[in-house]
Each structure stands twice: as structure tokens, then as C-alpha cells.
Structure 1
């Protein structure tokens, strides 16, 4: 994921350089880009985590705004009027074109503007949980509506993480089959261990997300199996009856726990930026 973090920085600096064309002279543009890259490196503190680097870049803001500020600074130093960054030029965000808001949109009533933003792909609704996940799952959607975070793009950017989620799903789907154990371990457990290892060594999720996604199947198997098994036998049944019910429902609870963990990890991956 080191390449992913560095690519985020490179894309951001490239956007700034593109925005500076026609606004700054060649030597000014080169100096500006050089200082911007150096400042980003200072702020990221050597981090190679894509999520952390994305947060750093978000704090810098719109590259075009940085160019405008630099142009203003140079103009003030020279006693001139700052040139404007072309307002109608499409700014690139990754591989997706992002266009500035139309002036009339800013004059619309707040309620109308909020509804339009939520319905047509702008700011996600705070009242609708997982709105970003639903938008990103639109494989054939207009990239303008998904913010460039459609599922296909995420899969291409995170192949190892996607493979980990697929392996976890396969582990859950193998539970109903009576497969020959590998040594003393059941096949679904072995497959789960491979997927969990990929999740735990990933740089895309934070520690809490990784633990939640990887451990959810085990929690479903143990705690869920014990809870449902205990409820099924009741307080008067003996230990043998409880064990029987536990093993009857623990596999299903493992599958449910896996589903919850995979959905959470997928949501966090789609919501990375």
C-alpha cells in the first residue's frame, strides 16, 4: 500500500500543477509545486498509510484554492493584481472530473440545495447511514454521482483487500459442507485464518476496523452460538443438551458474524477517502 499512499500525494500535486498553468509563470509554478510537495511530506510524517495520507491532503484543501492563494501572494509582493484561476476549468480528482458549483446553485434556498446535493450525488445525507456505500456500489453509475468511489474503482485500487473479503465470504459459505479437516482444523477455519491474516496486515483499515472484521466470525461462533444454544435448551437442560444445541447453531452464527464483519470492512474500504 506504499504505492497507493505515494500515488495519492502525486495525484494531489499534479492537480495543483495543472491548476497553476496559465496562472503562474513556469519558474513560479515549479517553485510552488516543490514547496507544496515538501510541505505535504512534512505533514504526513513519513506515513505510508493511505487513509492517513488522505486525511493530510484533505486538510490542505482544494489544489486550485492553493494556487489562487499563491498567485495572490506573488501579486501582493510585486504590487500587482492576482490573476484568477479559471473557474470553469474541470479539476481532476483521481480519474474523475469534478466541476465547480454553478453560481445559481449557491443562491438557492438552503433546504433545496441540501436535497439536491443528497439526491444527485453531492454531500451524503447525514440522516442516511451507509449512503456512501450505496452510492459506491453503483457499478454503472455516473462517476460524477459517486465521487469516483464506485465499487469497480475501489476493487482496482485495493485488489489484496478485496481478495481478503472474498476469502472470508468463502470461509462462511463452506460451513454447511462436511469437508475433511486439515490436520485438526476444520476447512472453514483454515480459510477464515487466511482471510483474517490478509485483513490484519492490510494498510487500508485502521486497527479497530481490522480487529472488528477479522474477529466478528469467531465472536459469532462462540458468543452467538453459546447465547442461541442456551436460549434453545432453556435453564433446565443439562450440559450435554447445551453442547448439542451449541454445535447445531454455532456454524450459522459463524456465517452471520462473517457477513457482519465483511459488510463493515467493505463499507470502511469504500468510505476510505
Structure 2
């Protein structure tokens, strides 16, 4: 059920993100944020609290092309005599249909325009329609076929400083604030790696870094944000680095030396470093997935 809700919310977020991205170079920053805020509010109103992804998709389809909504907003502002970024930088590209086009685009605040079926690309040449489709897919962070492009979530988080509506007003800092336990879990894993070089006395028979890692691993496994696969990658990477990395690198360092003792010595010399590297990779993966899934 949680995945269904997240999928419906993600559809809305992607739609608003596309509209906000399309508004770059057309609207000023304050106009862009106000436009995205009103668009999100209007979508939520039309959505009526539905968490059904199919129903939400139908609602978004009635709004039409996000880029067309931006053009309608720019024309509305121009009609009110309000300067936009396009007016400030007249060299910007003309809107679809040309300056003199009478083609009507749905307004974010116009109830009757939501169902306007005139918003399409049927009057554009095939090459232009194909180019627009590719541009929309890239703006939405999706490759052809509907799959999200690699690191799309990271891109949205990085862009949020310039365009907060690209992540629904949330950036890396706000995401960490909303998930303090998950952020603490990653911090504990980092602390476990940083303790390795200090050679602290063990607690009972367990090395201190292992005890700290176990605490961080338990916190990660209890998280409700990451998927099981992500959790296993995050907590398993340090162990994999320690065991497999220690064996491989230790074996390479032994070289032509004979005897198990030499191998064991080399293993313990490098296994701590490999544990730190594995922890770093695991935490990076968890951080990326935390940004991506939220």
C-alpha cells in the first residue's frame, strides 16, 4: 500500500518538476515558484486525496503538457502587463505556435481549461514532435520506455537549490530532517569505519568498530524507507570489503611468499582499510537511495 501511495505522489511530483523545469528561461524565479505552487495546489484539489496511481495519472492527463501550461502562464502574465524572464531576455526562444498564435493553453487557475483537449502537438511537424517528446522525457528524468534515468533522484536534489519545486520544495537538507533516524544510521556506519585506524581495545571479544557497525546495521535494517535490497547493500558492503577485499588484496600482497602465516598477516593489514572502503561505498549507496526514493 505504501508503494502505491508513493507511486501516486511521485507522478504528481514528476509533473510539477517538468513544469518547473520548462519554466526556466520563460518565467522569473519568483513567478516560477508561485506558478509551481499554484499548479501543485490545483492538482491536489483535482486529485481529491486519491492515492490511486491510475486515477492520479488521469488527473494529470487532463492538465495536458507541462510546457504548454508554462506558455499559458506566460501569456496570462503578459496580458496583465507583468514582465517575465522572456521579456527581460528577448533573445529567448519563442513559445510553441509563435508570438501571434491564437492557440489556447490551459491555465493553472482556470477550471474550465483543465479539460481543454486542444493541447497537443498534432499541428507540429513529425520531427518537431519527436524532439519535444525527447525533451520532455529528459526534463522529467525519464528515458524512453518510461524508466527513470540513472541518478534522476540525485539530479532533482542537486537542482533543488536553483529550483526548489524540482523536489517539491525539498532538498538534501530537508530530506535528512524528515528522516533523522535514517541519517543517524548512516552516520553510525561512518563512525564505525573511522574508528578502525585507532586500534581501540575490544569490548569483551568484539572489536569496537564491529560493535558500532552492528548498531548502525540494525538501525538500517529497521528503517522503513529503504528497500530490502538497498539495506543489504548498505550493511553488506563493509563486510564484503573486509572479507573478500581482504582476501583478494592480501593474497596479491603476499605474492610469491609461501605459508599461511604470511597471508594472514597481510589479510589483517589490509582488511581494516577494505572495511572502511566498503563502508564508504555502502553509505554512499544508502544516501543516494534515500534521496531517490523520497
Whether 1:19 and 2:40 are equivalent positions in the alignment is no
Which one of the candidate residues 176, 179, 186 is aligned to 1:155?
A: 176
Count of residue pairs brought into register by the alignment = 204
1:175 to 190, 193, 196: 196
Taking structure 1 as the reference length, what is the TM-score of the superposition?
0.61
Deviation at 1:203, TM superposition (A): 0.9
- Contact conserved, 1:217 with 1:258, CA < 8 A, in 2? yes
- The separation in 2 between residues aligned to 1:122 and 1:170, in whole angstroms, is 37
Aligned-residue offset at 1:135:
3.3
Post-superposition offset of 1:156: 2.1
Aligned-residue offset at 1:19: 2.9
Structure 1 residue aligned with 2:290: 269
User: 2 CA distance for matches of 1:124 and 1:59?
Assistant: 18
Identify unmatched segments of 5+ residues in structure 2. 13-40, 64-104, 110-118
TM-score normalised by L of structure 2: 0.57
Contact 2:141 2:152 in 1 (8 A): no
Match of 2:140 in 1: 122
Q: 1:258 and 2:285 equivalent?
A: no
Query: What is the RMSD of the two structures over their aligned residues, measured on CA atoms?
Result: 3.7
Q: CA deviation at 1:247?
A: 0.7
CA deviation string 1:119-170 (max 9, x = no partner): xx53256796324224314563311334545212321221111111111111
Q: Given the superposition, is the C-alpha separation of residues 144 and 170 from structure 1 closer, same or farther in structure 2, using an over 3 Å criterion?
A: same
Residues 160, 171 of structure 2: 8 Å contact kept: yes
Contact 2:234 2:282 in 1 (8 A): yes
**Mapped partners of 2:179, 2:42: distance in 1:** 22
Equivalent residue number for residue 187 of structure 1? 208
CA–CA distance in 2 between the matches of 1:199 and 1:218?
15
Relative to 1, partners in 2 of residues 1:17 and 1:271: Cα closer, same or farther, differing over 3 Å? Answer: closer
* Alpha carbons 1:149, 1:270 under 8 Å: kept: no
Distance 1:60 1:142, change over 3 A: same
Q: 1:47-86 counterparts in 2 under 5 A?
A: 57-62=52-57, 64-65=59-60
Q: Which of 80, 102, 110 pairs up with 2:130?
A: 110
Q: Runs of 5+ in structure 1 lacking a partner?
A: 21-32, 41-56, 69-85, 91-102
